[in-house]
Structure 1
């Protein structure tokens, strides 16, 4: 809407009218205090009677006493007989001695909020402003704060919730506020708090607000008007407090207030929807907002004294009605009226009590008649605490739609402001996350359908039907006992692909009560047994007691969602032993590992149902089945906690399996896998590039982080796995191996001994051959099976080659100006491994060059020509052989030459002692990417071609 500049009026004053208005405000104040007093229990009346006296004096026999030196003295206050009688009820020996005080520490006491309004109930708390001297020092303020806290404790002992706020009117006008209670939001909005104070605040004792004496038309020149009031002595400054005028509310404050109400509305929508709609109505007038306190003042200046018409909550409801009617939003209008009705909590469908019809009830009667609500509609609303699931689902959708519409209006308002500094995008993002977590639908998410709508959604009897037709697999939940084929068009409560999703929905929405609710499973041959179903429900109760979720912490919403709690159900409705039993197979092997069980290495962990509670207080379920189910589940779970996120996932996945006699070992094995993988990747150095190896049945799975999250690659054979382990790494990559994986090979012992920046050669004699393993400086594994004559011969040729390669790599790194390539001395080990025993590594301390036998070197130099053709040159005993001369016969000619130089003529294997290849042949772009494994892999390939050629000669 167009912004119209407000004209500043010329100030005129009428002392007689001001006195009339002041008396009118005071009468309204006293009448509302009488309503407060009438609505209190006797012991709570005692609190209200004593309250001003407790701040007026320090008496050791009265509640809240701290010290005789604590600030005291309430401006313009003298206790009446009722107050003194109340004091003597607590202490018969109490006597009041009036003393002259030159300066009072407490200027006034005000009661804020619903007290004395139609919204008050005996469950309401008291928010009380303690207005203090501006020049009170810090120590005195702290003493007064402690005294107020003591009075709060005394009130709590009488089951009365009280919150005190120290208020300095001078500081407040400057935008500061001290609070005594966690009930106060640290960033309380100045204008909106002041608006609430002026329309709901009740003066208990002390000075009245000078705001009363500023006529509505002079609000725009509030400071000037107050200045003249004091200057012309229309007002004694010792009679009033001045918290300032309302002025024009800045966009940032308006935005913050709406943001906070939307945030609270997620869990308590009825309490916040009306306030949110009021903010929308204000936004429609922004920036020249006519606040409710303005309306209240206009009515009083117009002569209105009827408390019902001036009631702050009735006025709020009226303002929201005007806004929604102007915009033709009849559905949200009806919702706003319901919110108001529920707030007042006068059940109008019930007959009046004879001789005890409250004013609150009379006001509500007029309103519901005006709204045209029928007796049947009132009966429906009054039974809201007993509403069941279908009614709650319909009401929730209306609430969700209303909140989303308000969020969109808030976002549009934020985007429409010229001053970027008034709107914090982070706050809008925070609210968006809260709404997303609470209301966004997505696969597997458990929707929480009862945000304070009904008190009891529990059902005595439920029926769960398993659908197992083509294209219709899943589960359907019905109320009552509904047998297969007898649904009769009955509307299901819930549908889901996963049984755990359905049961979690029942648990977190309190549809089931563990000892009272009965769930029948259909059809009779349902794959899940009643025992399994009850076991799952018991587990949910143990891990997520009563299905209660806390409010999401604002700090948690500012960060990505993380796993807070979890449960993992394995083989739900599936007996992994059934197939073995049908085939008449029993355990004929000592292998009891659930992931490779028996002689056929069967995987007994077939499907997984995961449920997690996130730090955003979402409940999410996931279903995994198929050959890679375990790894998919594991990696998805770890993805919630990137390795560089600053901490590990919650240690200990809660695993359960109920479907077979092997259920407990299966659950324990899967829990161990999760724990071991979590410990490996999240607890230790170099974990950002670590790897972990796990065997499932005959297959191998290698996990390694991608973008900070562990992902897996699958290998069907041991040979394929070795090829992958020989792949180069960006940086040192330690390998963790599951304790039951490759236990019949030396690999676990090798990688356990692996160290960064070192070359480690291991060999294992196997008859006439030897298995050679080399772990290079980055943890890549080289493997080669070679003919074995003696250890000296084997180690000699590898030592020559490795030393040459280290020299070459150091030169390349220095040539590129990147420092030096430093690798510690090469370690040599022999592997001793007997069947059924742990491998043992024996360090070799011999010097291979001490052997008497002489060898000539075989050097390979490779390059790539312009046409992408590889060209090799080999030097044997200084004799040169090149593909330029021999072409495809190069390897045959080299083998022939070497054979001719052997005195014995024996065709034992040819070993390369040095290799120099262009980087594009090795598959790297820079010298820094080079590592020993590049040369070892090429050495192996060329030696294979040379020895193949040798075998043909």
Structure 2
């Protein structure tokens, strides 16, 4: 604490009252004196080689000196108002240029209006790990190219500072734009425009004047804060002080309630990853909000002390002022637990969270400072001793602290939401920043099954565990799941110990262990389970791979801009058969080697699926599924939800199944690659289907309404029914190599094209198999025994051409005909053929027509020239036509009847939209009637 005498009180009157020009200059000098003391505190803290940075800082921006750090060009904007380097600065410059001589011609216009340090630098919270935020204030009328060159210079000086072991960030500021609420700098301490006034308050409370114009705010007495703009205009227009001597960032005349909300959410956001760094500021926001609309700003306390003349004998350290205000607020509200947490956070800010944060001499002086604070504020006697152990936390202490912190964060969140309901109009639009902060906060604090909770204090754990136990709950218990213990625990004895973490699945347990810092390569793990047989090498391998996966892909603190988009998964890790021991049935040798449908019995080797998923919002989620359905569900979800473009690099497959792991992983990777190729990007006017075997069933993947789905078909017959199903749009078919491998169907679909009807026929002995793929990819099949190929194909051709000729379809359809052959080694091939449908000896032209009536469809059947109508024959119309046809045949002759044309309303096909109509409807109806005729 600084000792000095009390200086005289200065009172500046309101407009119309007496205002002394001398008093105004005295106020400026007092503020600069306070700033010099803070700057001196920084230099005392810095290492000797680092002190040159602050010594040279204003000179570097005052001119463009080729031999000094940061030189870009001789035309880079330079010159600081009211600055002249002293001999100490010139000597510092001569460390870079021995013959450096300073010469400067006075200018009427200076490009740089001011340099200010802000934040924790210069406060009792400054440590070796602290960075320096510097506001570099330039003229409002600088050209964009000049500002760009000034930014280059600032970046070069940042690099020089880094060589000295300092982390420095420059923020180029236009005071006029800032005053108007534009271009508020976004930093680690501020979310930008959503915190304009609260950032301004922090600036006035923490800023250290380096060089340039004096902030106009210094000259506005505390009782005139609400009249800030008018007061400054009064001072300058009446020439109490020259306007060119001032830089005006604005005041606190009308702070919107929304700022308290956004600032609280921002500090909540920061507290999620660095709680001990942010909780004091978060509580300060709560204090400020509780005082609204008459907020008692801390920066005003500093101003009052300067005007009262006791600023040199009062502790005006920015962090102490925060603590002091928070302490009074929490004592007033009797929040004893929160007060203890606030004291702990203040202690950590002063003493640092690790032993190497402070040098020995500085640590000793700060320990005295803390003792003084503890005495003044009546801290419990044992409190400091307890706080000293903070730097040796283990995971158990960190987890317990995490629970307390989350409770406080939740309480702050509820408070500010209550404040919003009271002070913000319903349905009022919030800023984009506010929406992003809300999304971030919700994504971290929301708890749901399978989501990994990241301990906010995990970085504070400095004592690593050497051994722990992972135990599955006893099967007789009502709650299934897993528990993590810091002792050697078995299933039988688990009820006697309290776990450090409980999870629903093993994969969730392992991810929690890794992401919260418990994993290291020398960790000893006791694994106890009644359902899994996990070997120690497998467990260690899985932990290594989870750790590598998270290290490579997970971002602990995603930037706010990612929350502008909806949450999407980015990366997944899929562990197959985790903890499944060797099994005899997995060792059977077979030529049919597909792990999804192996051997004669079509056995599937996929038993369990455990998934870890990383989202764009920095969320880690886990899930556990069983069997092939679990695998397909997982792969479909990745295709449907993952960020595009998608590739195999987004997914890591892991398997440790003895003797089969490599084959299983390779098969699943190939399957996933095919699904990505077919379904991860929309295909214009195409709706592909992919069919593969799985166990004894078949699985069909198809995208419906832009969502990939799959269905299981238990037999080959059901698969053929699926292929015959009408499609909303043209559907290409892709077959796994083991699907319908003994039929020509895969070959047929390899030739399939939209808007083309293709007829394939295959003669085998006396039978003919006909396959027709229509314009949308639906398959019609029919076996004809003891048929004449020429006659049969001509009948089909006449029927298909009759349908097309009426132009019922929206687009022109074409017909193609192919003959299929089979080689001695079982390979199918096809050859196009030409059919002549014209014939003068056509035996029968059988045409079925109809129209809708109130009583249903009224049919008319034409047998050559003979007409049969429902009006005459009622429900017996088809029988009457059949009897007529028999008259043309010899008594002993029996050959099939073929329908040559169908012209029926949509209701006959059980559809109601012409766009649904396709050739498969006609073919199915044709077969249905012919089956009745040919019984």
Instruction: State TM-score, norm by structure 2.
Output: 0.90
Change (3 A) 1:244 1:562: closer
**1:97 corresponds to 2:107:** no
C-alpha separation between the residues in 2 aligned to 1:740 and 1:207?
81
Q: How does 1:434-473 map to 2 (within 5 A)?
A: 434-451=440-457, 453-456=459-462, 458-467=464-473, 469-470=475-476, 473=480
Q: What residue is the counterpart of 1:860 in the other structure?
A: 848
SS state of the match for residue 262, structure 1?
A: helix
Could you tell me whether the CA contact under 8 Å between 2:794 and 2:835 is conserved in 1? Answer: no
Following TM superposition, by how much is the alpha carbon of 1:783 offset from its aligned partner in structure 2, in angstroms? 1.8
Could you tell me whether the CA contact under 8 Å between 1:688 and 1:705 is conserved in 2? Answer: no
Could you tell me whether the CA contact under 8 Å between 1:691 and 1:736 is conserved in 2? Answer: yes
Unmatched 5+ stretches in structure 2: 1-12
**1:845 corresponds to 2:845:** no
Q: What residue is the counterpart of 1:919 in the other structure?
A: 906
Q: What residue is the counterpart of 1:689 in the other structure?
A: 687
Change (3 A) 1:687 1:400: farther
Q: What residue is the counterpart of 2:6 in the other structure?
A: none
Q: Any idea what the Cα deviations from partners look like across 1:216-257, whole Å, max 9, x if unmatched? A: 111222222223323443323343323232211124444443
C-alpha separation between the residues in 2 aligned to 1:347 and 1:558?
34
SS state of the match for residue 496, structure 2?
A: coil
Following TM superposition, by how much is the alpha carbon of 1:59 offset from its aligned partner in structure 2, in angstroms? 2.4
Q: What residue is the counterpart of 1:386 in the other structure?
A: 392
Change (3 A) 1:357 1:503: closer
SS state of the match for residue 465, structure 1?
A: strand
Q: How does 1:563-642 map to 2 (within 5 A)?
A: 563-575=569-581, 577-579=583-585, 586-587=588-589, 589-626=590-627, 628-641=629-642
Q: What residue is the counterpart of 2:771 in the other structure?
A: 773
C-alpha separation between the residues in 1 aligned to 2:319 and 2:673?
56
**1:544 corresponds to 2:533:** no
Q: How does 1:38-49 map to 2 (within 5 A)?
A: 38-49=44-55
C-alpha separation between the residues in 2 aligned to 1:795 and 1:747?
19
**1:13 corresponds to 2:18:** yes
Q: How does 1:463-862 map to 2 (within 5 A)?
A: 463-467=469-473, 469-470=475-476, 473-487=480-494, 489-513=496-520, 515-522=521-528, 526-545=532-551, 549-575=555-581, 577-579=583-585, 586-587=588-589, 589-626=590-627, 628-641=629-642, 647-648=645-646, 653-683=651-681, 685-686=683-684, 689-808=687-806, 810-811=807-808, 821-834=810-823, 837-849=826-838, 853-862=841-850
C-alpha separation between the residues in 2 aligned to 1:307 and 1:745?
97
C-alpha separation between the residues in 2 aligned to 1:33 and 1:347?
24
Could you tell me whether the CA contact under 8 Å between 1:255 and 1:423 is conserved in 2? Answer: no
Change (3 A) 1:653 1:724: same
**1:910 corresponds to 2:897:** yes
Quick check: 886-895 or 227-236, which moved more? Answer: 886-895
Q: How does 1:99-498 map to 2 (within 5 A)?
A: 99-177=105-183, 187=193, 189-306=195-312, 309-345=315-351, 360-370=366-376, 372-374=378-380, 376-417=382-423, 423-424=429-430, 427-451=433-457, 453-456=459-462, 458-467=464-473, 469-470=475-476, 473-487=480-494, 489-498=496-505
Quick check: 155-164 or 86-95, which moved more? Answer: 86-95
Could you tell me whether the CA contact under 8 Å between 1:210 and 1:240 is conserved in 2? Answer: yes
Could you tell me whether the CA contact under 8 Å between 2:194 and 2:434 is conserved in 1? Answer: no
Change (3 A) 1:691 1:798: same
Q: What residue is the counterpart of 1:874 in the other structure?
A: 861
C-alpha separation between the residues in 1 aligned to 2:186 and 2:570?
32
Following TM superposition, by how much is the alpha carbon of 1:917 offset from its aligned partner in structure 2, in angstroms? 2.6
Change (3 A) 1:346 1:775: closer
Q: Considering only aligned residues, what root-mean-square deviation do their CA atoms show, in Å?
A: 3.3
Following TM superposition, by how much is the alpha carbon of 1:900 offset from its aligned partner in structure 2, in angstroms? 3.2
C-alpha separation between the residues in 1 aligned to 2:661 and 2:94?
71
C-alpha separation between the residues in 1 aligned to 2:305 and 2:615?
50
Change (3 A) 1:575 1:166: closer
Q: Any idea what the Cα deviations from partners look like across 1:860-909, whole Å, max 9, x if unmatched? A: 23566646x66654332333446676677655554443333124842122
Change (3 A) 1:126 1:392: same
C-alpha separation between the residues in 1 aligned to 2:453 and 2:18?
61
C-alpha separation between the residues in 1 aligned to 2:135 and 2:144?
18
Q: Any idea what the Cα deviations from partners look like across 1:794-845, whole Å, max 9, x if unmatched? A: 211111111222234x35xxxxxxxx62233211112223475442121112
C-alpha separation between the residues in 1 aligned to 2:902 and 2:354?
95
Change (3 A) 1:431 1:190: closer
Q: What residue is the counterpart of 1:814 in the other structure?
A: none
Following TM superposition, by how much is the alpha carbon of 1:142 offset from its aligned partner in structure 2, in angstroms? 3.6
Change (3 A) 1:634 1:68: closer
Change (3 A) 1:539 1:181: closer
Q: What residue is the counterpart of 1:3 in the other structure?
A: none
Instruction: State TM-score, norm by structure 1.
Output: 0.89
Following TM superposition, by how much is the alpha carbon of 1:937 offset from its aligned partner in structure 2, in angstroms? 1.3
Could you tell me whether the CA contact under 8 Å between 1:510 and 1:546 is conserved in 2? Answer: no
SS state of the match for residue 708, structure 2?
A: strand
C-alpha separation between the residues in 1 aligned to 2:104 and 2:853?
109
Q: How does 1:18-33 map to 2 (within 5 A)?
A: 18-33=24-39
SS state of the match for residue 85, structure 2?
A: coil
Quick check: 252-261 or 292-301, which moved more? Answer: 252-261
Change (3 A) 1:468 1:875: farther
C-alpha separation between the residues in 1 aligned to 2:737 and 2:889?
47
C-alpha separation between the residues in 2 aligned to 1:724 and 1:355?
81
Could you tell me whether the CA contact under 8 Å between 1:792 and 1:848 is conserved in 2? Answer: no
C-alpha separation between the residues in 2 aligned to 1:372 and 1:735?
79
Q: Any idea what the Cα deviations from partners look like across 1:519-561, whole Å, max 9, x if unmatched? A: 1222699522223212212322333337853422434323232
Change (3 A) 1:904 1:847: farther
Quick check: 660-669 or 243-252, which moved more? Answer: 243-252
Could you tell me whether the CA contact under 8 Å between 1:466 and 1:526 is conserved in 2? Answer: no
Change (3 A) 1:466 1:348: closer
C-alpha separation between the residues in 2 aligned to 1:209 and 1:175?
17
Aligned residue-pair number: 920
Q: What residue is the counterpart of 1:4 in the other structure?
A: none
Q: What residue is the counterpart of 2:928 in the other structure?
A: 941
Q: What residue is the counterpart of 1:815 in the other structure?
A: none
